Structures are given as structure tokens and as C-alpha cells.
């Protein structure tokens, strides 16, 4: 019993950080209606900047293109470094609100989701590019809070964990007091409930929003700074602390500070108890294929799914009809002609391509299939899914296991795609009752759990080292990707990728033109009206999920055979975020958008043609471009192209014509 109690107390530190991050999410949501997926990424950048300044006196700026460092003081103290970190966090929060959040105030949920994803990608790349993360150049990270052991009865817990819990409780009490007893808090609540009414009585929603986002960013920065001795600091993993933080915020209905903090502490303590139990019970406490960290990461997913299942509505209310606008989905035309043109273009390119260009073609073709998965789920049926890459990983490692066992490639392809489809439908079924940002939260939790449980399992992926990919043969022909020297990334494998990509695109176009596609669009546009017209909304959503998961599975199989050794890092959550982001940037509701997303994908054709510098900064540029697209071009780049084409083709109306007689294009 004392060991269990000690594990629970040890989880107070992680739980307090989850609670602190969740409090910031509640603040930003109550102010602007945005679930900020970049919240933990903001904290990650602030923490790196704090530790760098504490050791060198250099302030590392977050804006690429400006000087990377500004030297402020030669010997910073702890107090000086904390003050600089707080000021930097507040300034970054204000900047994000003014430049990103405020312009998206009246945009649909998808635009706000992808803008926060773009910010997350950008900040991750800033950390990667501007901070010495590992090796001899890594900066020393001194703990802020004392770590001395404290005895509580028969158990021992480090002092910093208790201080973190106390900090979370104090912040919760302060926020609750501010929002119930002060003019500022009451004004913030009034502006959130009725922005136009708040303006009429003299309140400034923008001023209130800036202050709340500043406070939220400060909380995020301090939370990640103090958690470093307990949880470490990683440019890729630390931003994913937003998942348990969102679970805690959802438990508090994104409004209650007290319930949010209690849920955050409970999540952290439960994860610690799981770790303590597996450590005490030994190697036989869990099945050999189930990693301990995966079980811990499943706690937020279980919490999110439970909350959404209980609270989700089968249909949205009338007020939600306008809130889910998505870009128009054009009807695919001249599909056979475009398919022939694509085959001819790639064939002509292959005749003159070197190894690097062939590799770019492979990456782009696979990325097109992955983006088609996003187009079906989000663009056609209106479900914001962040789990396609995780499902691709399930299919990819299933293909490796089957191929290694001697199963023929065509059978491997069918079975692996089927596995991804079944897993996708099974995991997404509880989430069909929710929509918008809430659905994005659920699918992000699903992606993290799949990565930590399935893809990290030694039995599935072979562990961190990955698994060797079997030889690819089809009807006796060697279609494998690898060869020596300049013959590597063989044209035969490029041709296979091209054939499967064209089949996938033509199939999606056929579905879009069919009754099935029309049902998806009807559900996307207005679920209540679709149900009134006799459409089974849940069945339509699950059908789109099945097709989307199958496409993700196809991309995963091609990814598995495009390398000689498949690693779990090929299917990390960051890849899913990048896929959704680039698809939205290119055009999330059209097949042409998926094609463009594949072309501009990292390590794809555009990156190869842009050279090493383009590859080094591609993710940061994509993040900025995504934010700009969410604000200025919700229909994406292909949507802008279609609009320009229609304007050019439409005749100008006569000045003397009656308005009713003017042409409408």
C-alpha cells in the first residue's frame, strides 16, 4: 500500500504540469473558442529559451529571418532568467493572439485547428534549428525547484513534486477568484458569451483576449520549465503534452478551473501509479508486446473517449449549423484525361531522373495517397482527423510482418490495408458523436496512443531499431526499391507507387461523384438536414472513416517497402500533423489539393528541386504558410487557383444590364 501511495505522490509533479497546461487551454478557449494545439509547443520554446539564457545570457528569438540571438547579460541569475522567460512568454502569447487568433475569430473550426497546428510545427522547427539539443553543445539545464526528498509517513517524495502541486492549486484558486470576483474576469466571461453585446457596453474583446493569451502562455512556459527534471525536454515529444492537458480541460468542460486541475492531477497520478506497478511487478506484469509507456499514454485517450462518449451529441443543435463551414468540394471532371496526363508526366520524368529525383517522386506519390485520406475524412465528410499517419504505421508494420512470413505482396497489400481499416473504424466509432475541434482532440489522442502502444511495441515494430523490409516481388518481378549507387530508388518501384496512387485517386474521384460521396457532403454541410432526408449520419461517417483508413493503410504499405528498414519514427504524430497541415494548405476538399500536398511534402519533389536549404527549413515555412492559408485562403492554394480560373472565364457583366440578368458563374 505504501508503494502505491508513493507512486501516486510521485505523479503529483506530472499531474500538476498537465493541470497547469490545461488551465492555459481553458483560458484561451474561454476567450476565443480555440483549443490551442500549439499550447505545449509554446511552453517548449519558452523552456528552451529559458535554459539557454540561464547559461549564456543570450535571448533566442522565435522569428526566423531575424537575428537568432540577442546577448542581454553576461551572468544571468535564476531570478533574471525567470523574469526574461515570463516576459518572453507574455510577448509571444500577445503576438499569437494578434497575428493568428484574432484574424480567425469568425473562421470555421477547421481553420482554427490547422492554424494552431501550423504554429505547433513552426515552433518545433524553431527549437530544432536554433537550440543545441544534444551532444557536447547541449546547454546545461539547472532545476528551478528543490529536489530534496521529503518523508510523508512511510513514503518518500521529492520536494519539487509537492511544490508543483501546490503551484497548480494556487493558480487554480487565483483564476477562479479572478473570473468570479473581478471586473476583468466578469468582462472576459461576458465577451465570450456575447462579443457584440460586450462591444456595445464598452468592453474590448481584443484587449481581454490579449491578456488571457499572455497569461496562458506564461503558464505554459513555467509548466514546461519546472517539469524538465521530471519529464525531460524534447523538441518533438514535449509539445505532445497537450494531449493529456486537453483531456483534463475536457473533463472541466473547458470552463471549470477546479475540475480541470483535479482531472490533470488525477491523470498524472494514474500514469505514475501504472509505472510504479509495472516496475514493482517486474517484466511479467504486462504482456511482452505491450510497452509501459504506451499504457501510460493510453490514460488520456481513455479519459477523452469516455468524456466524448458520455457528452457527445448524436446531432448538433441548430446553432452549430453555420459553425462547420468547409471549403467547397468541386466535382472531379475529366478524370481519365488527368490520370493519363499524370502517368505520362511521371514516365517522362523517370526517363531523365537521377536517384535523388526518383526518391522525391516516391515520397510525393506516397504523400498524395496520405493526403487523399485526409481529403476523404475532412474535405468530403467534415471529420477533422489527425490519426492517418498512425493508421499508416499499423498497416506498414503489418505488411512487414506478413511479408517476412512469406505472404505474397498482393495478399500483404490487401490484408494490411484491411487491418488499418478495421483499426480506424473501431477507434473512430466512439468519436462519431462529436465534431469540430472536439473530434480533432479525440483523433490526436488516438494517434498518440497508437504511436506509443502499437508502433512502439517490440512485437509489432521491432523496437526502436525497427524491422527489415522483405523483398518486394510481384508475379516473379523484382519491384524492390533498393539498388547500389546511382541505381537506387529503382524506377520499377516508382512505377508501382504511380499505379497505386492513380488507382487511389481515380477511386476517390468516383466516390465523390457517386451517391456515397453526395451523402458525405450532405452530412458535412448539415447533419440535421441529412438525417431528416433519410441519411444514416453515423453510417455515412463510418463509411468515410473506412475509406480514409484504407487510403492511409495503402500509404503505410508503400512507405514500408520504400525503405530497407522500417522504423517507428516514420509514423510519428508530427508526421500526421504535417500531413493535415499541408493538405489544408493545398486544398483539403479536392483531389487536386491532395496532389499538390504531395508535391510540396517534406523530402518530396519540391524539396528535392529546392535543394538542401529548402529541406532544412521546409517544415517552418510550411507552418507559416499554413497559418497564412487559414487566415487568407481557407479553400487552399488550389481553391485560389479555381477562383482565379472562374474569374478569367466569366464574362464581365454589362454596366447597363439589369442586376437580375447578370451571369452567375
Q: What is the model's pLDDT at position 259?
A: 93
Q: Which runs of E-coded beta strand occur in 146-226?
A: 149-152, 155-158
Bigger pLDDT: 259 vs 140: 259
Name the class of domain 10-141+157-285: mainly alpha
Task: Write the DSSP symbol of residue 107.
Answer: S
Closest C-alpha among 376, 388, 280 to residue 2: 280
Closest C-alpha among 209, 225, 193 to residue 32: 209
Grid coordinates standing for 497? 507507387
Calpha distance 549→372 (Å, rounded):
10
In the chain, domain spans: 10-141+157-285, 318-648
Calpha distance 338→223 (Å, rounded):
52
Q: What is the model's pLDDT at position 658?
A: 43
Closest C-alpha among 301, 304, 296, 277 to residue 14: 296
Asked if residue 379 lies in contact with residue 408, where contact means CB atoms within 8 angstroms, the answer is: no
Residue 39 in this model has a pLDDT that exceeds 60 = yes
Asked if residue 560 lies in contact with residue 499, where contact means CB atoms within 8 angstroms, the answer is: no
Task: Please give the full DSSP string across 479-548, using - where no structure is assigned.
Answer: --S--SGGG-S-HHHHHHHHHHHHHHHHHHHHHHHSHHHHHHHHHHH-HHHHHHTT--HHHHHHHHHHHH
Mean pLDDT value of segment 475-483:
81
Grid coordinates standing for 237? 515529444
Name the class of domain 318-648: mainly alpha
Bigger pLDDT: 592 vs 206: 592
363-383 tens-digit pLDDT:
999 999 999 999 999 889 888
Residue 95 in this model has a pLDDT that exceeds 90 = yes
Asked if residue 72 lies in contact with residue 57, where contact means CB atoms within 8 angstroms, the answer is: yes
Most confident listed range (206-210, 422-426, 486-490, 520-524): 422-426
- Domains 10-141+157-285 and 318-648 are alike in CATH topology: yes
Mean pLDDT value of segment 161-183:
89
pTM: 0.82
Task: Write the DSSP symbol of residue 320.
Answer: G
Q: How far is CA 548 from the centre of its chain?
A: 17
Grid coordinates standing for 594? 491532395
Mean pLDDT value of segment 504-525:
91
Q: What is the model's pLDDT at position 496?
A: 92
Amino acid at each position: 500500500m505504501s508503494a502505491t501511495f508513493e507512486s501516486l505522490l510521485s505523479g503529483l509533479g506530472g499531474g500538476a504540469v498537465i493541470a497547469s497546461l490545461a488551465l492555459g487551454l481553458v483560458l484561451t478557449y474561454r476567450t476565443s473558442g480555440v483549443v490551442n494545439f500549439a499550447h505545449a509547443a509554446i511552453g517548449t520554446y519558452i523552456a528552451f529559451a529559458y535554459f539557454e539564457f540561464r547559461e549564456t545570457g543570450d535571448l533566442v528569438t522565435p522569428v526566423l529571418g531575424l537575428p537568432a540571438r540577442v546577448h542581454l547579460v553576461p551572468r544571468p541569475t535564476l531570478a533574471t532568467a525567470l523574469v526574461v522567460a515570463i516576459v518572453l512568454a507574455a510577448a509571444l502569447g500577445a503576438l499569437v493572439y494578434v497575428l493568428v487568433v484574432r484574424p480567425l475569430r469568425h473562421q470555421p473550426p477547421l481553420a482554427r485547428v490547422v492554424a494552431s497546428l501550423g504554429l505547433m510545427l513552426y515552433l518545433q522547427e524553431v527549437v530544432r534549428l536554433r537550440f543545441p539539443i544534444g551532444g557536447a553543445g547541449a546547454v546545461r539545464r539547472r532545476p528551478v525547484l528543490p529536489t530534496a526528498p521529503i518523508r510523508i509517513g512511510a513514503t518518500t517524495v521529492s520536494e519539487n513534486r509537492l511544490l508543483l502541486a501546490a503551484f497548480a492549486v494556487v493558480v487554480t484558486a487565483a483564476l477562479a477568484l479572478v473570473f468570479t470576483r473581478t471586473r476583468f474576469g466578469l468582462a472576459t466571461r461576458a465577451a465570450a458569451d456575447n462579443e457584440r453585446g460586450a462591444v456595445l457596453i464598452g468592453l474590448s474583446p481584443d484587449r481581454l483576449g490579449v491578456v488571457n493569451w499572455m497569461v496562458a502562455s506564461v503558464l505554459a512556459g513555467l509548466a514546461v520549465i519546472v517539469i524538465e527534471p521530471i519529464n525531460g525536454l524534447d523538441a518533438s515529444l514535449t509539445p505532445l503534452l497537450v494531449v493529456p492537458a486537453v483531456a483534463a480541460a475536457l473533463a472541466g468542460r473547458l470552463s471549470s478551473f477546479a475540475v480541470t486541475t483535479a482531472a490533470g492531477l488525477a491523470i498524472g497520478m494514474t500514469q505514475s501509479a501504472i509505472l510504479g506497478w509495472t516496475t514493482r511487478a517486474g517484466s511479467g506484469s504486462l504482456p511482452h508486446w505491450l510497452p509501459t509507456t504506451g499504457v501510460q499514454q493510453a490514460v488520456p485517450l481513455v479519459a477523452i473517449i469516455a468524456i466524448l462518449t458520455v457528452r457527445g451529441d448524436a446531432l448538433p443543435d441548430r446553432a452549430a449549423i453555420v459553425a462547420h463551414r468547409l471549403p467547397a468540394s468541386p466535382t472531379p471532371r475529366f478524370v481519365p484525361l488527368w490520370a493519363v496526363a499524370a502517368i505520362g508526366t511521371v514516365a517522362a520524368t523517370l526517363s531523365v531522373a537521377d536517384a535523388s529525383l526518383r526518391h522525391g517522386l516516391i515520397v510525393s506519390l506516397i504523400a498524395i495517397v496520405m493526403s487523399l485520406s485526409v481529403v476523404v475524412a475532412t474535405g468530403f465528410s467534415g471529420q477533422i482527423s489527425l490519426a492517418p499517419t498512425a493508421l499508416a504505421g499499423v498497416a506498414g508494420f503489418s505488411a512487414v510482418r506478413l511479408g517476412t512470413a512469406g505472404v505474397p505482396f498482393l495478399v500483404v497489400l490487401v490484408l494490411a490495408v484491411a487491418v488499418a481499416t478495421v483499426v480506424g473504424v473501431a477507434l473512430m466509432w466512439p468519436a462519431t458523436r462529436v465534431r469540430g475541434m472536439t473530434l480533432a482532440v479525440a483523433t490526436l489522442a488516438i494517434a498518440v496512443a497508437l504511436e506509443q502502444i502499437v508502433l512502439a511495441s517490440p512485437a509489432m515494430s521491432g523496437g526502436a531499431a525497427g524491422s527489415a523490409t522483405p523483398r518486394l516481388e510481384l508475379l516473379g518481378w523484382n519491384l524492390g526499391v533498393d539498388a547500389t549507387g546511382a541505381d537506387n530508388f529503382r524506377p520499377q518501384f516508382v512505377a508501382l507507387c504511380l499505379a497505386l496512387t492513380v488507382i487511389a485517386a481515380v477511386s476517390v474521384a468516383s466516390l465523390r461523384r457517386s451517391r456515397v460521396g453526395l451523402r458525405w457532403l450532405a452530412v458535412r454541410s448539415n447533419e440535421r438536414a441529412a438525417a431528416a432526408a433519410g441519411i444514416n449520419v453515423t453510417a455515412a461517417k463510418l463509411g468515410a472513416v473506412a475509406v480514409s483508413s484504407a487510403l492511409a493503410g495503402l500509404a503505410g504499405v508503400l512507405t514500408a517497402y520504400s525503405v530497407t528498414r522500417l522504423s517507428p519514427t516514420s509514423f510519428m504524430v508530427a508526421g500526421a500533423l504535417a500531413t493535415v497541415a499541408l493538405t489544408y494548405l493545398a486544398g483539403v476538399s479536392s483531389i487536386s489539393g491532395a496532389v499538390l500536398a504531395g508535391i510540396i511534402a517534406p523530402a518530396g519533389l519540391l524539396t528535392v528541386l529546392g535543394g538542401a536549404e529548402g529541406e532544412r527549413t521546409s517544415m517552418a515555412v510550411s507552418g507559416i504558410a499554413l497559418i497564412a492559408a487559414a487566415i487568407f485562403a481557407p479553400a487552399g492554394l488550389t481553391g485560389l487557383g479555381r477562383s482565379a480560373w472562374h474569374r478569367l472565364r466569366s464574362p464581365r457583366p454589362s454596366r447597363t444590364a439589369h442586376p437580375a440578368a447578370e451571369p452567375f458563374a
